[in-house]
Structure 1
Amino acid sequence: MGNDPIAAPAPLLPVLYEDNHLLAVIKPPGMLSQADETGEMDMVTLLKDDLKARYQKPGNVYVGLVHRLDRPVGGAMLFAKTSKAASRLSESVRSRSFDKLYVAVVHGSPEAAAGRLRHFLRKDAGRNIVSVHHKQVPDAKEAILDYAVVAKQGGLSLIAVKLLTGRSHQIRAQMAEIGCPLVYDRKYGAPAVQGEQDIALWSTSIGVAHPVTKEWLTIHAQPPKTEPWSRFRDDDFIRARSILPLEGM
């Protein structure tokens, strides 16, 4: 009995995919993607600690951040475990071959069941909020997304969203601009409701060419079975992937 192997500790976060080069996990809503001046726990630090513990690695562990999720947003997030993988994934992000699909629950429903939104967003860093403009203004950046209504339930709509640009608060601000703020997103005009939780925005799928094998890799993460996600069926979230499919699928 004294020679029994010691079981490796369980990962700190749900692991969606892992190999020698990549690690995909579910980011909890409310956690920072990377460290900031607050000193609060962030994904990169947490995963470094996790890898050191699980693989009993001495010294520093490499975790490369290649894309971000806004703090209130949860779901699939992909990290590099080597600098080579990080460099190649970062190039995929720059060339827009790093594909991401989000789902959101919004108040009401867009006038068109599917479409493309194009605005210009200007960030007020002091207030941590962006303003939406319909033409170019100083310091504003172009923001483009595709969306499709997946299902409707009790005055709410489940929306699939693909970003063509990656701007801070982009989905939140652009959906609010067309009169469909995300549920619980008071910052962008959602009505107050009882028992408020994290905003209803979730990174549900990532698609990218593997940085080493070059094979297309697809990662999925279902939203939690809590309000308002629980109003919709599992089939609705699966159908979202086919309505706005990732490249390579």
Structure 2
Amino acid sequence: MAGDSHSSPSSILPILYEDNHLLAVVKQPGILSQADDTGEPDMVTLLKEDLKIRYDKPGNVYVGLVHRLDRPVGGAMLFAKTSKAASRLSESVRSRQFDKIYVAVVHGAPAASSGRLRHYLSKDAARNTVHVSNRPVNDAKEAILDYAVVAKHRDCSLVAVKLVTGRSHQIRAQMSAIGCPLFYDRKYGAPAPEGEQDIALWSASIGVSHPVTKEWMTFLSRPPHHGQWAKFSDADYTNALHIVPSEGYGR
């Protein structure tokens, strides 16, 4: 398991683990995973700049994107430092040997305390949303996740989610589809809060076989101690890493 995080000189990229092949960091909400046409800050560019500074590299620096997090989502994120590592890690993602556990604070509580959700998601590019269907429709992609309610607090629940597929906006859309939108996620039906807030979704754990040593590596990130996250204890967040059903998934 990876050790405690430390911050790089760029101060906004807490490092969970680093060696010659891997770089696991904490993505802050609001930062893009990779560059788009807006020109706004993205993780790949920020990490390249950080590595050049820390290792005094005059030329190009390689940073391979292994997986993505939606822009409003924070938490653990893994990158490759060589093309060989990127290829092997990407294969782990494709073969579903890449464990991802998220925590989310949702309105209300699911009818069942745990279970598997299977939907079909259609992209609406104009609105940057996905539409959820219960059965296959044209161009829709199957979306599967396992979830478990970890704790409840008045009008909300802390839910742990393990992705089986990795679709854009998947957790946000599927939880909304069962009547439990994520806090602050107005795009998927949550009540509008006062002022701007990051949606209550966090990448809490990534597990993967090291691309060279083959050792199973786990990288953990706890959500911040404010907002809806503050309603739940450290014990709740620890429990979230072990409570999600894992039938048919992962190693």
Q: TM-score range by the shorter chain?
A: over 0.9
Is the 8 Å Cα contact of residues 121 and 142 (structure 2) preserved in structure 1? yes
Give the equivalent residue in structure 1 for 2:207. Answer: 207
CA deviation map 1:116-170 (0-9, x unaligned): 0001000101110111001111111111100000000121100000111111100
Is the 8 Å Cα contact of residues 115 and 245 (structure 2) preserved in structure 1? no
Q: Which letter maps to 2:83?
A: S
Give the equivalent residue in structure 2 for 1:42. Answer: 42
Give the equivalent residue in structure 1 for 2:139. Answer: 139
Give the equivalent residue in structure 1 for 2:93. Answer: 93
SS for the counterpart of 1:143 is: strand
Give the equivalent residue in structure 1 for 2:125. Answer: 125
Is the 8 Å Cα contact of residues 12 and 50 (structure 1) preserved in structure 2? no
Give the equivalent residue in structure 2 for 1:4. Answer: none
TM-score relative to the length of structure 2: 0.93
Q: Distance in 2 between matches of 1:162 and 1:95?
A: 15
Is the 8 Å Cα contact of residues 48 and 61 (structure 2) preserved in structure 1? yes
Q: Which is higher, the Rg of structure 1 or of structure 2?
A: 1
Is the 8 Å Cα contact of residues 48 and 62 (structure 2) preserved in structure 1? yes
SS for the counterpart of 1:228 is: helix
SS for the counterpart of 2:89 is: helix
TM-score relative to the length of structure 1: 0.94
CA deviation map 1:61-113 (0-9, x unaligned): 00000100011110000000011110100000010001100000000000000
Displaced runs of 4 or more, over 3 A: 8-12, 245-249
Give the equivalent residue in structure 2 for 1:230. Answer: 230
Aligned-pair CA distance for 1:193: 2.5
Q: Distance in 2 between matches of 1:10 and 1:199?
A: 25
Give the equivalent residue in structure 1 for 2:84. Answer: 84
Q: Distance in 1 between matches of 2:160 and 2:223?
A: 13
Q: Which letter maps to 1:113?
A: S
Give the equivalent residue in structure 2 for 1:179. Answer: 179
Aligned-pair CA distance for 1:226: 1.1
Give the equivalent residue in structure 2 for 1:114. Answer: 114
SS for the counterpart of 2:227 is: coil
Where do 5+ consecutive residues of structure 2 fail to align? Answer: 1-7
Q: Percent identity?
A: 74
Aligned-pair CA distance for 1:21: 0.6
Mapping 1:49-68, distance limit 5 Å: 49-68=49-68
Q: How many residues align?
A: 242
Is the 8 Å Cα contact of residues 31 and 42 (structure 1) preserved in structure 2? yes
Q: Distance in 2 between matches of 1:109 and 1:245?
A: 17
